[in-house]
Amino acid sequence: MSKIALVTDSTVSMPQELVDKYGIIVAPQVLIWGNETLEDGVDISPSQFYTRLKNTTVMPTTTQVTVAKFQEIYQSLLAQDYQILTIIISAKLSGTLNSALQARTLMPANAPIEIIDSNSTAMALGFQLVTVARAIKQGATFPECVALAQKAKDHTGIFFAVDTLEFLHRGGRIGGATRFLGTMLNFKPILELRDGRVEAIERVRTRGKSLNRIVELAVEQIGSRSPVRLGALHANATEDAKLVLQEASAKLNPIETVFSEVSPVVGVHAGPGVVGIVYMAGM
């Protein structure tokens, strides 16, 4: 069996039990809060982040995983004779891909390192990783895993509802949703991660309708494809996310469900209250 290591970044927000089960290496994004520099998910947990966010007068900012961190991870894995497959957040959302590429240039020229843009984040990225991790356990070769990762990203998607576009706008991650700015009033925006960017889908008048609508959109997008894997993601909105996952599961009969809380770095950009439905369909 090939010795293949999977590396990703902390925006994956994957439940720790899956990280541990498949031995996935998670490189931490960086949260900058005043004079503090915190590693995402290492120095600060989601619950700690949202508690602090409620009372802060200084808003946090973020920066991508450092080149040095990827270099450290790659050197360690290569020393253990691993082939390394890195699948990370969309390059249209973060500079993380560039950090990984720079780190690879610091490794030997023939080092077995592949770096793939997931075109996504959160558990859409997570489902891609888990799909490859399961193939590794079944004896897939390194080229087979690379091909599978490239294929998997076309089978995943995310729809999400946010309370406000303020956080996405502030962080420059809003994409086509800028057309909603200044006209929101009491509307709730519904967004999609499409082609690696956050794009506006529509807007509805209430929180409840927005949560129902993301489920409807996922059902429409998935259509007759099977099997279906579903995830719910949230930022300090546990009960809403549970209801969304329950409703989507009743309609789509998934073979697997995952419940996750987005990492602090994602929370900086999405804002408290975001709820999303994540899917992988057709593979």
pTM: 0.91
pLDDT at 165: 64
- What pLDDT does 189 receive? 83
Beta strands 188-194 and 156-161: pairing type? antiparallel
Q: What's the pLDDT at 170?
A: 54
Residues above pLDDT 90, as percent of the chain: 73
Tell me the C-alpha distance between 200 and 178, whole Å. Answer: 8
Whole-number percent of the chain with pLDDT over 70: 91
Mean pLDDT of 103-130: 97
Question: What single-letter amino acid sits at 162?
Answer: V
- Tell me the pLDDT tens digit for each residue of 223-271: 999 999 999 999 999 999 999 999 999 999 999 999 999 988 888 877 7
**Mean pLDDT on 116-144:** 97
Q: Are strands 83-88 and 61-63 parallel, antiparallel or unpaired?
A: unpaired
Identify the residue whose tokens are 């099997």.
Answer: 227
Residues 6+ apart with CB under 8 A from 234: 240, 241, 260, 261, 262, 274, 275, 276
H helix runs in 107-165, sequence order? 122-137, 142-152
Rounded Cα distance, 128 and 18, in Å? 12
- Residue 201: pLDDT band (50, 70, 90) is confident
Cα distances from 153 to residues 147, 148, 280, in angstroms, run 11, 9, 9
Q: What's the CATH code, domain 155-281?
A: 3.30.1180.10
Alpha-carbon gap, residue 200 to 217, rounded angstroms: 13
- What pLDDT does 168 receive? 56
For the chain, how far is it from start to end, CA to CA, in angstroms?
23
Sequence-ordered strand ranges (E) for 50-117:
61-63, 83-88, 113-117
Each residue's pLDDT tens digit, 58-68? 888 889 999 99
Q: Which residue has the higher pLDDT, 180 or 56?
A: 56
User: What is the average pLDDT score of the chain?
Assistant: 90
pLDDT band at 198 (very low <50, low <70, confident <90, very high): confident
pLDDT at site 179: 47
Question: Domain spans of the chain?
Answer: 4-154, 155-281
Average pLDDT estimate for 125-154: 97
The answer to whether 228 touches 272, Cβ cutoff 8 Å, is no
What residue has token string 């989507």? 248
The pLDDT of residue 166 is 62
pLDDT, one tens digit per residue, over 3-40 is 999 999 999 999 999 999 999 999 999 999 999 999 99
| 4-154 CATH pick, 3.30.565.10, 1.10.150.80, 3.40.50.300, 3.40.50.10170 | 3.40.50.10170
